[in-house]
Amino acid sequence: MDKTPSPQQASTRGLYLGLLITILAVLAYAAYITFQFAGLRKLQSEMVDRNRRDSLQLLRIQNDLNSLGLAMRDMQDPSEPYPIAAWAPQFERIRTDLVDALRQESLFTAAGPTSDQRLYLNQSLAQFWDAVDRMFALAENGFEAEAGQQIRDTLQPRQAALASTVSRLLVQNNEAEERAALGISEIYDRVQRQLYAFLAAILIAIVVTSLYLIRYNRLLFAHVAELSSQRSDLAQKLIATQESTLRHISRELHDEFGQVLTAIGSLLRRTGKHLPTDSPMHTDLQEVQEIAQGTLNNIRSLSQALHPVLLDEAGLEATLDWYIPTVERQTGLVLHYEKSGASYSVGPSAGVQIYRVLQEALNNVARHSGAKEAWVRLQFQPAALILEVEDHGKGFLPMDGHTGIGLVAMRERAEILGGRISISPLSGGGTLLHLDIPRERVEPHVE
């Protein structure tokens, strides 16, 4: 068995594959963007935020060192009324705050100074506080001059060195923060460029998919139009073949069988004239003659029903003038026939199509509408020939969306003539059939 996929299946698979690829690309890019922004948040939290907090603690340390420098300057002022030993509590408070600031700052080592710098800062502070303790010990023992000399020679240079070290650490933190900001900016720029590239790729994919869909739809519609044209051609050929066959059968019945039955009737009449007046054969001949005449009448009616000879001989109007009263007699319907407009000639080919539409419409009225009367209107308009059949019955209700073969045939006959046919329900109940055919398609010279 040949399992080669049809063009429709292949196209559908291609569309599904393109949709899957597009969805996967969007999901992959969304995951990538999420990863990038997670990296940004991590960078901001681990570097920028921690570096900012480290800088705040370094500023706190720098402020404490500056407070120590001011205190040591005041301690050496001759106009200061307090002795050097009286400054010990203030130094102790600053020392406590510095210890806490160093402890807080040590929590941000990832974004803070290197271990060598931290070791140097801790050692320098330890040496500074040792010198402070010796200085206050001298002052408490009454050696004010020696204590002041130690402040000038040891404590103030060390305080300046510590302040310089902290200043360098602050500069390093600022540089690290600038580098982090630059890294974040680069990531944003890269994500932005990739976003533009992704959007361009998506747009290209959409354009390619759209062009493919447009091309596929054009091919599909062309195929449907070709099938519709072939179906219409086939229907028209079938209708033409049907009409040709019916015309041939009608002529055969009318000419051959009609002539035979007419000859039989004549022979029976002549035979009856040759028999004696009192012969019992008269009754039998009369009965056979009536049977022959009845059969002839039935054949003529059947011939007219198959293909009215009047269409070829007298035209559409005369045929309808004969046909409508015939339908009234056969079905019991009351038909109101109206003609309007200046009549013009209708060719045999167009006439037979219009006749068949009317025939099918009246059959539907008689069989399905339940109405007792109907209106037939033939309008000769300057640009079109219009036929309408109206009834006030139960209306047209197709079941399950199916359309009968008669309705299909009526539409095909209308298309053969380039016309339009519509079947619409009436507001008060009933159905209106409207057939509209361009005049140039019904006149004989166009045939």
Q: CA-CA distances (angstroms) from residue 402 to 148, 405, 407, 411?
A: 117, 9, 10, 15
pLDDT above 80 (res 411): yes
Q: Which of 436, 354, 408, 349 is nearest to 231 (CA)?
A: 408
Could you tell me if 23 and 133 lie in one domain?
yes
Return the amino acid letter for 327: V
pLDDT above 70 (res 123): yes
pLDDT at res. 79: 81
Q: How do 420-425 and 431-438 pair as beta strands?
A: antiparallel
Overall domain count for the chain: 2
Could you tell me if 20 and 127 lie in one domain?
yes
pLDDT at res. 219: 84
Sign of the four-CA dihedral 32, 34, 39, 43: positive
- How many whole angstroms separate alpha carbon 17 and alpha carbon 12? 9
pLDDT at res. 383: 92
| In a domain? residue 282 | no
Least confident of 129-143, 303-317, 325-339: 303-317
Q: Domain with 440 in it: what CATH number?
A: 3.30.565.10
The CA angle 43-44-46, to the nearest 5 degrees, is: 65
Q: CA-CA distances (angstroms) from residue 212 to 8, 12, 31, 225?
A: 13, 11, 29, 19
Per-residue pLDDT, averaged over 153-171, amounts to 87
DSSP string, 284-349: HHHHHHHHHHHHHHHHHHHHHHHS-HHHHHT-HHHHHHHHHHHHHHHH--EEEEEEES------HH
pLDDT above 50 (res 1): no
| In a domain? residue 285 | no
pLDDT at res. 388: 94
| In a domain? residue 196 | yes
- How many whole angstroms separate alpha carbon 259 and alpha carbon 262? 5
At 397, the pLDDT band (50, 70, 90 cuts) reads: low
| In a domain? residue 47 | yes
Domain range for 354: 309-446
DSSP string, 355-404: HHHHHHHHHHIIIII--SEEEEEEEE-SSEEEEEEEE-SS----STT---
Between these two residues, 60 and 228, which has the higher pLDDT value? 60
Picking from 159, 179, 213, the residue at the C-terminal end of a domain is: 213
pLDDT above 60 (res 152): yes
pLDDT above 70 (res 267): yes
Picking from 213, 247, 267, the residue at the C-terminal end of a domain is: 213
Torsion of CA 215, 220, 226, 227, to 10 degrees: 170
pLDDT at res. 260: 75
By CB atoms closer than 10 A (0-12, 13-18, 19+), residue 433 is buried
At 446, the pLDDT band (50, 70, 90 cuts) reads: very low
Could you tell me if 201 and 71 lie in one domain?
yes
Q: How do 373-380 and 384-391 pair as beta strands?
A: antiparallel
Between these two residues, 104 and 6, which has the higher pLDDT value? 104
Could you tell me if 209 and 314 lie in one domain?
no
Per-residue pLDDT, averaged over 295-317, amounts to 74
DSSP string, 19-86: HHHHHHHHHHHHHHHHHHHHHHHHHIIIIIIHHHHHHHHHHHHHHHHHHHHHHHHHHT-TT--S-GGG
Could you tell me if 316 and 185 lie in one domain?
no
Between these two residues, 97 and 25, which has the higher pLDDT value? 97
| In a domain? residue 379 | yes
* Block residue for tokens 């200043």: 167
Sign of the four-CA dihedral 126, 127, 128, 131: positive
Which helix (H) or strand (E) element contains residue 434? strand 431-438
- How many whole angstroms separate alpha carbon 172 and alpha carbon 158? 21
How many of the other CB atoms lie within 10 Å of CB of 128?
21
pLDDT tens string 200-257:
887 787 788 778 778 877 888 888 878 767 776 776 677 667 666 766 676 666 666 6
Could you tell me if 199 and 338 lie in one domain?
no
pLDDT above 90 (res 335): yes
**SS3 call for 116:** helix
| In a domain? residue 303 | no
pLDDT tens string 183-201:
777 877 887 787 788 778 8
pLDDT at res. 443: 86
Provide the 8-state DSSP code for 151. Answer: I
Picking from 213, 232, 264, the residue at the C-terminal end of a domain is: 213
Between these two residues, 416 and 227, which has the higher pLDDT value? 416
Could you tell me if 18 and 142 lie in one domain?
yes
Between these two residues, 78 and 232, which has the higher pLDDT value? 78
Could you tell me if 29 and 173 lie in one domain?
yes
Least confident of 51-55, 146-150, 250-254, 314-318: 250-254
pLDDT above 80 (res 442): yes
Per-residue pLDDT, averaged over 47-52, amounts to 74
Do residues 367 and 330 lie in contact, with contact meaning Cβ atoms separated by under 8 Å?
A: no
- How many whole angstroms separate alpha carbon 419 and alpha carbon 417? 5
- How many whole angstroms separate alpha carbon 317 and alpha carbon 171? 110
pLDDT above 60 (res 111): no
Instruction: Please provide the average confidence, as pLDDT, over all residues in the chain.
Output: 80
pLDDT at res. 7: 56
pLDDT above 80 (res 373): yes
Provide the 8-state DSSP code for 155. Answer: I
pLDDT at res. 96: 92
pLDDT at res. 447: 41
| In a domain? residue 345 | yes
Do residues 377 and 338 lie in contact, with contact meaning Cβ atoms separated by under 8 Å?
A: yes
